Structure 1
Amino acid sequence: MYTFLAGIALLIVGYFTYGKIVEKIFGVNEGRTTPAYTHKDDVDYLPMNTPKNSLIQLLNIAGVGPIFGPIMGALYGPVAFIWIVVGCIFAGAVHDYLTGMISIRNRGAHLPELAGKFLGKFMKHVVNAFAVLLLLLVGTVFVSAPADLLFNLMDGWAAMGLILGAIFIYYILATLLPIDKIIGRFYPIFGALLLISALGVGGMLVFTGAPIPELSLSNFHPDNAPIFPLLFLTISCGALSGFHATQTPIISRTTQNENNGRKIFYGMMIAEGIIAMIWAAAAMSLFDGYNGLNDLLANGGPAGVVSEASTLMLGAVGGTLAILGVIILPITSGDTAFRSARMIIADYFNFSQKKVTSRLWIALPLFAISFALTRIDFTLLWRYFSWANQSTAVIALFVGAMYLYIAKKNYWISLIPGTFMLMATTTYILNAPIGFGMALSTSYIGAAAISVILVAIFFIAAKKARANNIPLEEDISNWKPAA
């Protein structure tokens, strides 16, 4: 229990301390007009207030990641708490803040465009394809996960096809309509349900004195499971997630002032970390230890753990509300995953999104591909999603480091976590059966060599970019408000 409570406290302190340091390093310009005004189109670009933006950002980035990931990561024991806390404060929240703020400085640009500007034109094409693939995987995972939870909740009351169909219909509407029509109106309600469910489960864990294990040397490697790199890919959302880099531009296009950025981007990542801590603690404490959790995961998957934990902690009625809160998470990230994919493709081909027909021609093929992907095993999808997700985080952190290097600011705040995750993702893909299947020791050596080479290339490119005076932001000196 002490490890759990200390972790929650550190996350909150991290927001007020390290978050402030990151904000100061970046350098907020309160007088600079944001894309919500300079590019206002009343579809994707329009100003919304900070509480609404914060809540939308939280729901956009949360998904099932800070729940399913920590539940599976709980198999590693209390060491999962360390990664959630340290990863969230020094990697995930930095990642989210920098991608959000750099996007604000560049007309709300998505990651592929930012990668092209700061890492080279070739990277724009690579990251564009990579980001769309990631978002398709995210959208598919976040269709399947709530469908499974709803099916369990209703005890098979409705056919899975009908549930999937209903979720897809909602996704289509949320993807196509202006952001303030569905997302801006309903997310406050969804957010309240999310917070009630998380705080309810967390509060009951403390109130009932649940046997949350403490971190010790003896439980550092349960069942001799290798922590590196698997833990750092299993727990992504809640610690560090590249998916967030695809979501922050949605809100960078609706942010009213740069000084709102720490609350919206850094702060909501801290909130997601707290959610991850709660579900990791629930998974560790409620099922008779490692073996019980492993058996439940084998039989019912993470969705089964959520259903069981919610009912145990909050009873039938409260548990149902908690499960509904968890169902909201993937749905409210799945819709924005498809929305982001639409926006990225539109930006890449320079397609105006003012007309709904222009949005439709991009969105429909995305939904068709995603529906086909729902026929693939969830576990396999999650493995590919985890690697693609954290690889995207590496790219986003290197974009942040490049921006800060060119600006002659402390780029290490982004480069250090970026390099660490580069090593983790490279080790994973070299070792994993879905990758090259090398021995773990060989994978460590190969990943270290690749990481050193890529970091060296980064510094060469960074020095050249600084010498060439690559502009850090869009020129809005001649901007005038619309009549």
Structure 2
Amino acid sequence: MNSLIIAASAAVLYIIAYHTYGRFLGRKIFKVDPGAKCPSETHHDGIDFVATDKTVLFGHHFTSIAGTGPIVGPAIAVIWGWAPALIWILVGSIFMGAVHDFGSMMISLRHQGRTIGDIAGTVINPRVKSLFMLIIFFALWLVIAIFGVVIAAVFAIFPESVIPVWLQLPIAIWLGFMVYKKGKSHITYGIIATILMYATIIIGAYVPVNMPEAFGMSSVGIWVIALLIYAYVASTLPVTVLLQPRDYINAFQLCIAMALLLLGIIVTHPPMIAPATNLDAAGAPNLFPILFITVACGAISGFHCLVSSGTSSKQCDAETSAQPISYGGMLLEGMLAIIVIIACAAGIGLGLEKDGTTYTGVAAFNQQYSSWAAAGGLGAKIEAFVTGAANMISGIGLPKGVVLTLMGVFVASFAATTLDTATRLQRYIISEIAETVKVPALGKTHPATFIAVATALALAFSSGGGKGALALWPLFGAVNQLLGGLALLVITVWLARKKINIIFTALPMVFMIAMTVWGMSLNLFSYYADEKWLLFVIGSIITVLQTWMIIEGAVVLAKLRRN
């Protein structure tokens, strides 16, 4: 099939879904109130609670939820063929992921901007709050440590991206100063800031930076330390200083990158050279349930509930902004995931260089996806997307070297956004845990942030010179999707208490919990058989916590149904 038909059909479907199902959820299920006061107004503090124009907040929200998630998952899922991944992304994003994100943001807006883990204590019971908080802590612990390694890996693969990514920080601070201190137009100055950022991309294309080894540490280890120091600083600054303006620039970058990719698809319209289905890929696990754990961002991702209820709800200016930011943001991420599928299953066929040989067509796909092991490495996933994307964009006449740098910056910038947003979210979670255990001193900004960064640093350097977090990578997908199922459980109980029809959140909840419980069980058997005790112990703890929480939630739902 031609890739252009797939891209156009998906875009039309998403537009229809937003204006039909999205509006139905807003009006009939979550009952959006245009006149309601949001936490950004009632709890304004100038640091975390700041009323923000919805276009600016959309930039923060989208770049935070996207990260490298919609790239990594689809880039490996095409090994089962492009059709299963495409169907899951379309159905999952419209009927599960966007519902999950919208619901998480709405109930946070109705509960003083509290995180969904904290709200679980009010909606279900205090025990569930403690259970959910621990699960969220484990999930964010993995995210912070792993994304530090992800960005370090991108810098190693694309050293041309180093200068643009780091120079984006002073540009973002300047943008924040001009908009919030000088009262300038965020659109005009956002465009200027984006132009400046693209100028740094051109510089980076010709001035690559390779981090040398030092102090007995690998370049990855040094990058991880530098990135976690950055995350500490960025997550403690007021959102208007760095977080919002940087994410606003990244939103412009995303729109430009997606426009270039779509234009590249239109011009090159490469055929899908990957098989539509390939259920016997060498070494690959079964499609069910692993597909639904492998492809998270782009379909449904538990991390999104933390962003929706953790940062975005604190900056939302009106309830009417929730649908475009959360529901619309999820659909746009789904579109990005579909473009990634096209890049990996079609664009890569325009040319892949391996060991001095250039492969094209089906041979290129088979070379990149010869087996699950070959496609599963972090570098292989990123390489598959960047190569396919660069092939399509260079088809419109841009120099391939500059395009490769642009794509490298695109991946690294979004991963950095996820890193410092996750650190800020972990600070909120630690603060809420500190209040629960009655040690409020640990919940203050700097102690909580220090704990968030120090625990991630300890995990990163537990082995592998900064790559220790990758040992827990196999757990990440299952834990992330588990969060999605449990967030839908909290939203479903909240709707039940309001005597609102729960079917639209209950069905996605049941599906996601079933897939993650199934997937986690398979993982635990594998970890035990392979004597991977760290993975087995942490996975077992999380399984016990999730089982307990599911039982507690089911009991409450049963009582509400009887009443």
1:337 to 422, 430, 433: 422
The Cα shift of 1:453 comes to: 11
Structure 2, unaligned runs of 5 or more: 160-207, 213-218, 350-360, 395-399, 461-465, 530-545
1:400 corresponds to: 491
Structure 1, unaligned runs of 5 or more: 439-450, 469-483
Q: How does 1:343-362 map to 2 (within 5 A)?
A: 343-350=428-435, 358-362=444-448
2:293 corresponds to: 233
The Cα shift of 1:153 comes to: 1.2
**CA shift digits 1:361-403 (9 cap, x unpaired):** 1111221221232334565433211111011101100111111
| SS of residue matched to 2:343 | helix
How many Å separate the matches in 2 of 1:345 and 1:84?
A: 33
Are residues 127 and 273 of structure 1, via their aligned partners in 2, closer, same or farther at CA, if it must alter by over 3 Å?
Answer: same
Identity %: 27
2:500 corresponds to: 409
1:427 to 513, 518, 521: 518
Range with bigger deviation, 72-81 or 239-248: 72-81
How many Å separate the matches in 2 of 1:22 and 1:106?
A: 19
2:115 corresponds to: 110
| SS of residue matched to 2:288 | coil
Matched, 1:57 2:110: no
The Cα shift of 1:434 comes to: 6.6
1:363 to 449, 459, 462: 449
Matched, 1:260 2:260: no
The Cα shift of 1:170 comes to: 2.1
**CA shift digits 1:86-139 (9 cap, x unpaired):** 000000000000000000000011121122122221111111111011111111
2:381 to 302, 312, 335: 302
How many Å separate the matches in 2 of 1:189 and 1:379?
A: 30
1:292 corresponds to: 367
1:386 to 477, 487, 509: 477
Query: Does the Cα contact within 8 Å between 1:37 and 1:47 map onto a contact in 2?
Result: yes
1:15 corresponds to: 18
Are residues 356 and 331 of structure 1, via their aligned partners in 2, closer, same or farther at CA, if it must alter by over 3 Å?
Answer: farther
Are residues 106 and 232 of structure 1, via their aligned partners in 2, closer, same or farther at CA, if it must alter by over 3 Å?
Answer: same
1:461 corresponds to: 556
1:32 to 27, 31, 36: 36
1:205 corresponds to: 265
1:478 corresponds to: none
How many Å separate the matches in 1 of 2:36 and 2:280?
A: 50
How many Å separate the matches in 2 of 1:201 and 1:392?
A: 31
Query: Does the Cα contact within 8 Å between 2:101 and 2:326 map onto a contact in 1?
Result: yes
How many Å separate the matches in 1 of 2:518 and 2:22?
A: 30
Matched, 1:158 2:236: no
Report the aligned-residue RMSD: 2.9
The Cα shift of 1:306 comes to: 3.5
**CA shift digits 1:146-178 (9 cap, x unpaired):** 211111112772132443333223211211111
1:274 corresponds to: 335
Query: Does the Cα contact within 8 Å between 1:44 and 1:253 map onto a contact in 2?
Result: yes
- 1:15 maps to a residue whose letter is Y
2:46 corresponds to: 42
**CA shift digits 1:60-96 (9 cap, x unpaired):** 1111101111101111212100001100000000000
Range with bigger deviation, 334-343 or 166-175: 166-175
Query: Does the Cα contact within 8 Å between 2:435 and 2:443 map onto a contact in 1?
Result: no
| SS of residue matched to 1:253 | helix
The Cα shift of 1:237 comes to: 0.6
Instruction: Give the structure-1-normalised TM-score.
Output: 0.86
1:373 to 451, 459, 463: 459
Are residues 279 and 142 of structure 1, via their aligned partners in 2, closer, same or farther at CA, if it must alter by over 3 Å?
Answer: same
Are residues 276 and 377 of structure 1, via their aligned partners in 2, closer, same or farther at CA, if it must alter by over 3 Å?
Answer: farther
| SS of residue matched to 2:480 | helix
